[in-house]
Amino acid sequence: MELDTIVIKTIDGTIMSSEFCEELQEYFKIKNVKIINKTGAPIPSSKIPEKRYEGEVNIMKSQIIWWYIQK
């Protein structure tokens, strides 16, 4: 079973893409996180340095500005 993708922007300007596992009352469970943009600045090209985090991560909804889920 393939998981949906979630894109998140946090209050510190970080934009990340990951596999969406579960939505709970106060946080999202996500995994295989890829940090797309750490500065919050516009992304100039597709040659973006990225960091990846394997495994499951919990991210608090209070730290999120916006998110969308792609099915």
Segments making up each domain of the chain, as ranges: 5-70
Q: How many CB atoms lie within 10 A of CB 27?
A: 16
Percentage of the chain exceeding pLDDT 90? 58
The dihedral through the CA atoms of 70, 26, 17, 13 has a sign that is positive
Looking at residue 57, its pLDDT comes to: 92
Confidence band (pLDDT; 50, 70, 90) for 33?
Answer: very high
Confidence band (pLDDT; 50, 70, 90) for 13?
Answer: confident
CATH level 3 topology of 5-70: SH3 type barrels. (2.30.30)
